[in-house]
Structure 1
Amino acid sequence: MFHLIWVLIIGAIIGVIAGAITSRDMPMGWVGNIIAGLIGSWLGEMLLGTWGPNVAGMAIFPSIVGAIILVLIVSFIMGATRKNK
């Protein structure tokens, strides 16, 4: 149980860092940040591997890069959707 909480906290931090670097906010606030951090971690590790320090089973640097990619994609899609309305 403690490991799951730790993973969610680290996922949220990774999502917040990605949002701060890109100057974009994820929809749904903290839930969006957690999702961006977790999916971004998976994406970053698939693209870049698991090098660098690991926290809660997530490689920090690839996870942040993956979350940045995810935040940019989501903000692009959300921006395109808003323009069409």
Structure 2
Amino acid sequence: MINILSAIISGLIIGALARFFYPGAVQMGWIATILLGIGGSLLAGLVTTRGVRGEFHRAGCLASIIGAIVLIFVGRLLGIGG
């Protein structure tokens, strides 16, 4: 239960920071922001492990924010989220 709560809280913080640093307005609600932050953390974790088998390590905060910004960019390219 604690892991779920920490994922939600860190997802909210990372998603909010990614929205703040992304150039231009990013219109989304709280739930989408949390999911963006969690997705950014997962993306950064996959990139930093470089596909090496074994234990999955959570990425750092900066890498997670960059991962979330990449997700915003890809969403904009695909026409998702305006």
TM above 0.5, yes or no, is: yes
TM-score range, shorter chain: 0.7 to 0.9
Matches within 5 A, 1:57-76: 57-76=58-77
- Alpha-carbon deviation of 1:12? 0.9
**In structure 2, the residue corresponding to 1:78 is in which secondary structure?**
coil
Q: How does 1:44-83 map to 2 (within 5 A)?
A: 44-49=44-49, 57-78=58-79
Let me know the Cα RMSD of the aligned residues: 2.2
- Note the residue ranges of structure 2 that are not aligned, 5 or more in a row: 50-57
Partner of 1:14: 14
Which blocks of at least 5 consecutive residues in structure 1 are unaligned? 50-56
- Change in Cα spacing, 1:38 to 1:10, as seen in structure 2 (3 Å) is same
What's the TM-score once normalised by structure 1's chain length? 0.70
Which has a greater percent of strand?
1
Moved over 6 A (4+): none
2:35 corresponds to which residue? 35
Q: Percent identity?
A: 27
Change (3 A) 1:10 1:58: farther
Deviation at 1:26, TM superposition (A): 4.7
